[in-house]
Amino acid sequence: MPLHQDSPELSAFRQIPHTFSSMKKRDTGGCPESSKSLARKFLSKLNGLLENESHKAVRYWASCVPKPFSDKCSPRNVRDGVLYVEVCNAAARQELAFMERKLLQKLKKIEGCSDVKKIRFL
């Protein structure tokens, strides 16, 4: 038995509670994995997280905002639960600020956009 694993018998002998290991076996068959394949796996997971968080809110922004404002504003990114939207003029920015609650409700109905807590108009 490897040293990092513990059995119920050994735990009973030591008189400590047995904890099951949450580790899983590597799928490499005991051989070390190349740094190139590790980097690919890491970047694919990172891209998947970024796609879920920010790009969905950016992609579906046009369906949430009213037609007259769809050509006057464009979402930039999502950071820490805040969707940053660039607006072309101050009048449109103020009108969109008044509609922030309705826009947030529409965005939260979209799957993957529930992390957006606030909209900031720039």
With pLDDT > 90 as the criterion, what percentage of the chain qualifies?
Answer: 13
Give me the DSSP letters along 43-97: HHHHHHHHIIIIIHHHHTHHHHS-HHHHTTEEEEEEETTEEEEEESSHHHHHHHH
Divide the 122 residues of the chain into consecutive groups of 10 and give the mean pLDDT of each group: 65 76 65 83 72 68 86 85 89 92 88 82 90
- Output the CA torsion sign for 68, 72, 76, 78: negative
Look at residue 94 in the predicted model and tell me its pLDDT: 92
We report the CATH number of the domain holding residue 85 as: 3.30.300.180
**Count of domains for the chain:** 1
Domain presence at residue 42: no
* pTM score, whole prediction: 0.56
Domain presence at residue 108: yes
